[in-house]
Amino acid sequence: MQKRVLITGAAGFLGSHLSERFIKEGYHVIGMDNLITGSLSNIEHLFKLENFEYYHHDITKFVHVPGELDYILHFASPASPIDYLNLPIQTLKVGAMGTHNLLGLARVKKARILVASTSEVYGDPLVHPQTEDYWGNVNPIGPRGVYDEAKRYQEAITMAYHNVHQVETRIVRIFNTYGPRMRTNDGRVLPAFMSQAIRGEDLTLFGDGSQTRSFCYVDDLVEGIYRLLLSDYHLPVNIGNPDEITIKQFAEEIQALVNPDIKIAFKPLPKDDPKRRRPNTDRAKSILDWSAKVDRKEGLERTYKYFKTVVK
C-alpha cells in the first residue's frame, strides 16, 4: 500500500522541498497551507502529479483529511524574525492550536507525526555548541518570544501526546537552513544579502557582524528529517550544519560570489539577536547516521542560481 503523508506548510521553503522528497520516495503527499507566508509558486510544478494534492486550510481551525494517513509532517509557521514580528498572534496560534489539532489528527488516524522545532528553543544560548539537553535562554516577552515560546509549547504538547496517548512523535530542532525557494523578502540574512548583492545595493549587516550562525543546505536538512521520521527515536534531534561563521564573514562570502563591488552598510543589531549558534550534531550522527554533506561554497552557488531567476 502506498503511504500517505500530510505536510503542513507545504507551500513554504521547507515544506515544498519535503513534498518533493516524499513524492520522489513514492509517497502520496497531501500538502496543506494557508499561504500567509508560503507561496503556490513553490509547489505549482507538483500540481500535475498524481501523487500530490493540495488543501488550502488554516490549521488553527479543525483539520479534516479524508482517508488514511501514515505520517504527518508539521511545518506550518511563520519562521523568519520579520515574519513572526509582523504576525505574532498567528505565530503563537499555529504553534499552539495548530499543533494541538494535528496531534489530535495523528491520534485518530494512528499516524506518526514529526513536528518542526527550532534552535530558537535555545534562545540566546549560554551553552555552546547547543546540545539537545540544554534547556535554553529565552526571553518570553521579547520580539522573538512569540516564536520561541510557541515552539517550546509545541515540544511540550508533542511530548504530552506521546506520553498520554502513545502517539508516535518525532521532534526535529532545525538550525539556520538555506537554499532555493527562500522568500527573497523574508528578511533573513541569506535572502537579504543575496537580493541586495544581485541588485548592486549595500549589504545590510546588523551589529558589528561578530554574531555567529551555522548554515545548513536544505537538501541536507531534508535528508535528516527523512531519516528521523523513519527512526524509532522520539526525543528532540538537532539537524544543522556545525560549520559556524560570523555574519560578517557570511556577508563577505556572498559579496565575493555575487558582486565584489558592493559595500557593507552597518545597521543596528535587532533586540535579542542571539550572539552565537552552532548545533552539536552527535545525536543525529549516532541515531540517524546523519551529518551535513554540502559545504557552504557549493550550497551558496546552488542558491545563487535560484536567486538570479527571482530577484527583480
Figure out which of the listed residues 101, 158, 169, 176 binds ligand UDP, where binding follows CB under 6 A: 176
User: CA separation (Å) from 181 to 104, 287, 311?
Assistant: 30, 29, 11
Of 191, 238, 172, nearest in space to 83 by CA = 191
Cβ–Cβ under 8 Å, residues 214 and 291: no
DSSP, collapsed to helix, strand or coil, labels residue 4 as: strand
CB of 286 to ligand UDP, least distance (A): 26
Figure out which of the listed residues 252, 270, 272, 291 binds ligand UDP, where binding follows CB under 6 A: 270
Contact letters for ligand UDP, residues 183-222 (x by CB under 6 A): -----xx--x-----------xxx----x-x---------
Catalytic residue among 84, 147, 161, 226: 147
273 near ligand UDP (CB under 6 A): yes
CB of 255 to ligand UDP, least distance (A): 13
CB of 274 to ligand UDP, least distance (A): 6
d(CA 105, CA 157): 14
Supply 66's cell numbers: 479524508
State the distance between the two ends of the chain, measured CA to CA, in whole angstroms: 45
Contact letters for ligand UDP, residues 67-106 (x by CB under 6 A): -------------xx-------------------------
Beta-sheet strands, E only, within 104-250:
112-118, 169-174, 177-178, 203-206, 212-214, 216-217, 237-239, 244-246
CB of 84 to ligand UDP, least distance (A): 10
292 near ligand UDP (CB under 6 A): no
DSSP, collapsed to helix, strand or coil, labels residue 271 as: coil
Q: Is 147 a catalytic residue?
A: yes
DSSP, collapsed to helix, strand or coil, labels residue 262 as: coil
What 8-state DSSP symbol labels residue 58?
A: -
Figure out which of the listed residues 30, 247, 288, 294 binds ligand UDP, where binding follows CB under 6 A: 247
d(CA 213, CA 216): 10
Number of residues interacting with ligand UDP: please give it, by CB under 6 A: 15
Cβ–Cβ under 8 Å, residues 208 and 202: no
Q: Is 74 or 188 the residue whose CB approaches ligand UDP more closely?
A: 188
CB of 245 to ligand UDP, least distance (A): 11
Question: For residue 160, what are the contacts with CB-CB under 8 A and spacing of at least 6?
Answer: none
Q: Which stretch binds ligand UDP (CB under 6 A): 2-10, 17-25, 238-246, 268-276?
A: 268-276
Catalytic residues: 147
Contact set with ligand UDP (CB under 6 A): 80-81, 176, 188-189, 192, 204-206, 211, 213, 247, 269-270, 273
